[in-house]
Structure 1
Amino acid sequence: MHDMLAMSVTGDSGERLPLRAWRLAGRGDGPSVHLQAGLHADEIAGMHVLHTLLPRLREAHENGRLAGTVTVVPQANPLGLAQFRHGRLLGRFHDATSRNFNRHFHESIATERAPTTFAAWQQALFGLARGAQIVLDLHTDSDALPYLYMHRGFWPEGRDLAAALNAQVAILWDDDDGAFEGAIVAHGQRDPHAKLRLAATIELRGQSDVSDALAQRDADGLYRFLCARGVIDEPVARTQWDGEAVPMANMETIFAPVSGVLVYTCELGERVEQGAPIARIVARPGDPSSEVVLRAPQSGRVVTRNRDRLIAQGDVALKLTGSQPSAGWRGGALDP
């Protein structure tokens, strides 16, 4: 069967907001899977990918080829979807609490008092995923290469996911920062019956990279991965991965030292040498002395850039891979 689960959460004004999910019950002899997109509600690409993938999963189910049960949540964040302000969707932070939607999951799951709307939504989402053996959370960065976040314990077995999606970089983490993925991993480590095989955050390029062609490419990659992992009975050719695996501590995050017009002097995917100029900020247009040059702290590859070209002081301008721990690394998440 493939049923839409009738679920809702309470919005900040007391209204009921739908949390749409589809569950395709397979034969039971394959891994159970949870796929979700839009945890940050303004990250749209994954929504289109799962919209594109779902009919193919239904076809596999109807033809008796679905071995594992698959849950699909194409829009995981109804609270964020309700936050249209001044013509834009503000879906990264919760208006009522200023909390990042992809943080605080441990607190929400553990709370014993009456949950806030934020905590109740996180509990509902975690409840949909907690029984799955493979959990994939689809996000996008601002302007980026396709890349993955993955707990080090799933590597190098997780290379098959990176290869299927043609991810350029896999960022391996050790310490949880309260994100959804971290809560799933902690649950898998804590519960001996969980049998968690893989949890990963998939960054599908940048927020403007939404098209039928990209969605089809990514949906095809996810489908191949599910076949290779025994979720769907269909032979697929295994592909080699020639990307770069980087410990989280080695990632260099370059913050804007001043506000102003952001001008990049490097492209996504470009390899840069330590000390090389990678961008500049014109703090006071018209005043040549106000230009501030940003340089690579170590040699590496440009993974993400800020898609906004007027940047505020303290905002993330770029992220680069590195071959050694960053001098600025203090643990936790790369972004707030």
Structure 2
Amino acid sequence: MAEDISFSVPNNNGDPVRVGAWRFAGDGQGPTVHLQAAVHADEIAGMLVLHLLMPKLARAEAAGRLKGSVTVVPQANPLGIGQFRQGRILGRFHEATGHNFNRGFDQSAAMLQPSTVVQHWQKSLVQLASNADVVLDLHTDDEALPYLYLHRSFWPRGRALAAAMRMEVVIIWDDGGDGSFEETLITPWLRTGGNERQMAATLELRGQGDVSDDHATQDAEGLYAWLCGHGVIDEAREPADWPVEAMDMGQMETILAPRAGVLVFEKTLGDFVEQGQRFARIIGRPGDPSSEVVLLAEQAGRMVTRYRDRLVPQGMVVAKFTGSQVSRNWNGGLLDPD
């Protein structure tokens, strides 16, 4: 039976709020694993995935098949989960401070006495995961194909995880600098060279509206199968056969909205476009044909993400595409710098 290792952090009023966490104890022969979802509190899909995965882990533990210890945090962010405004959750940033919940974990973890509630929460979450060999952080994009965000040091080993999760795209990154949860956990590994048991990744589970039993059952089964293949669970599973395309982050083509207006997509997720091909348009002033702006692909590739809303502000990311060469707009840094 899973051990309840939940902990509390202060909210804006200083009152304690609970972070639910459970640990399934293995026999010590396999890797230690940390699984969490919804660091960005409005990214819901991973919560359901881990909710469905936990009974599978409980059965493996009861049957004596669990070789590694697995910690599961299905709803990691109690600060963001209550930020409802006009019927919509605002879970990417902490309203009181403007802090992106998945930035600055490194600074928070290094503090003896965190000075904000976000820093206190971040430090506690890093401490919980700091001894893990495997760290998987479950997120979602606006609207997206499922994809894996992976440091180069874990490629090509990460192909098996992407295949198990039916993710056709893996975005490979080298330099972060934002202090994300994943980056903070793997920094000590990178200094020492790591080992074959260690593995970390951010899993983007489609888009924020893709929350269903069908998707979550598939994803929970994929995670379970990968844990079997990684030596965490003693159960034979056939390796997944799934096409996986690795893409350097600099080759991802990000298209920004040149103006605000009604956003009309002419291509859907997964569609291939040629360089210069139109994929969307923005109508700045409905009723005025001269206000319509056509958006063209910078280079040939597949549409991986799309903006969720259909009224887009100027400068917002409209879509991201794979590419065959480094984007002319690429200047290093993050895929999503905010």
TM-score, structure 1 as length reference? 0.97
- The alignment status of 1:38 with 2:45, answered yes or no, reads no
SS at the partner of 2:161? helix
CA deviation string 1:90-121 (max 9, x = no partner): 10001111121111111111224443111110
* Paired residues of 2:159 and 2:244 also in contact (CA < 8 A): no
Letter of the structure 2 residue corresponding to residue 303 of structure 1 = V
RMSD: 1.4
CA deviation string 1:170-201 (max 9, x = no partner): 00000013211111111322467887611000
Residue 41 of structure 1, CA deviation: 0.3
Map 1:2-17; keep pairs closer than 5 Å: 2-17=2-17
Q: Do the aligned partners of residues 106 and 231 (structure 1) sit closer, same or farther apart at CA in structure 2, a change above 3 Å counting?
A: same
Query: Partner residue of 2:94?
Result: 94
Q: Do the aligned partners of residues 163 and 192 (structure 1) sit closer, same or farther apart at CA in structure 2, a change above 3 Å counting?
A: closer
Q: Distance in 1 between matches of 2:90 and 2:250?
A: 29
Q: Distance in 1 between matches of 2:320 and 2:266?
A: 14
* Paired residues of 1:251 and 1:322 also in contact (CA < 8 A): yes
Query: Partner residue of 2:238?
Result: 237
Please, which moves more after superposition, 107-116 or 251-260?
A: 107-116
Q: Percent identical across equivalent pairs?
A: 57
Query: Partner residue of 1:121?
Result: 121
CA deviation string 1:224-260 (max 9, x = no partner): 0000011001000012331211000110111101000
* Paired residues of 1:170 and 1:244 also in contact (CA < 8 A): yes
Q: Distance in 2 between matches of 1:154 and 1:191?
A: 14
Map 1:206-217; keep pairs closer than 5 Å: 206-217=207-218
Please, which moves more after superposition, 262-271 or 194-203?
A: 194-203
Letter of the structure 2 residue corresponding to residue 77 of structure 1 = N
* Paired residues of 1:187 and 1:194 also in contact (CA < 8 A): no
SS at the partner of 1:199? strand
Letter of the structure 1 residue corresponding to residue 182 of structure 2 = E
* Paired residues of 1:251 and 1:319 also in contact (CA < 8 A): yes
Map 1:1-336; keep pairs closer than 5 Å: 1-176=1-176, 177-190=178-191, 197-335=198-336, 336=338
* Paired residues of 1:188 and 1:195 also in contact (CA < 8 A): no
Runs of 5+ unmatched residues, structure 1: none
Aligned pairs, number:
336
Q: Do the aligned partners of residues 89 and 286 (structure 1) sit closer, same or farther apart at CA in structure 2, a change above 3 Å counting?
A: same
SS at the partner of 1:79? coil
Q: Distance in 2 between matches of 1:155 and 1:52?
A: 28
* Paired residues of 1:133 and 1:195 also in contact (CA < 8 A): no
* Paired residues of 1:148 and 1:203 also in contact (CA < 8 A): yes
* Paired residues of 2:31 and 2:197 also in contact (CA < 8 A): no
Q: Distance in 2 between matches of 1:221 and 1:2?
A: 21
SS at the partner of 2:231? coil
TM-score, structure 2 as length reference? 0.97
Letter of the structure 1 residue corresponding to residue 269 of structure 2 = L
Residue 21 of structure 1, CA deviation: 0.2
Q: Distance in 1 between matches of 2:37 and 2:6?
A: 18
* Paired residues of 2:108 and 2:114 also in contact (CA < 8 A): no
Q: Distance in 2 between matches of 1:153 and 1:37?
A: 23
Residue 6 of structure 1, CA deviation: 3.2
* Paired residues of 2:24 and 2:71 also in contact (CA < 8 A): yes
Q: Distance in 1 between matches of 2:6 and 2:292?
A: 55
Q: Distance in 1 between matches of 2:212 and 2:236?
A: 28
CA deviation string 1:275-324 (max 9, x = no partner): 10011000000000000111111111100001100000011100001111
* Paired residues of 2:171 and 2:248 also in contact (CA < 8 A): yes
Q: Do the aligned partners of residues 254 and 14 (structure 1) sit closer, same or farther apart at CA in structure 2, a change above 3 Å counting?
A: same
Q: Distance in 1 between matches of 2:215 and 2:255?
A: 28
Please, which moves more after superposition, 155-164 or 234-243?
A: 234-243
CA deviation string 1:125-173 (max 9, x = no partner): 1111111111100000000000000000100011000000000100000
Letter of the structure 2 residue corresponding to residue 255 of structure 1 = L
* Paired residues of 2:256 and 2:319 also in contact (CA < 8 A): yes
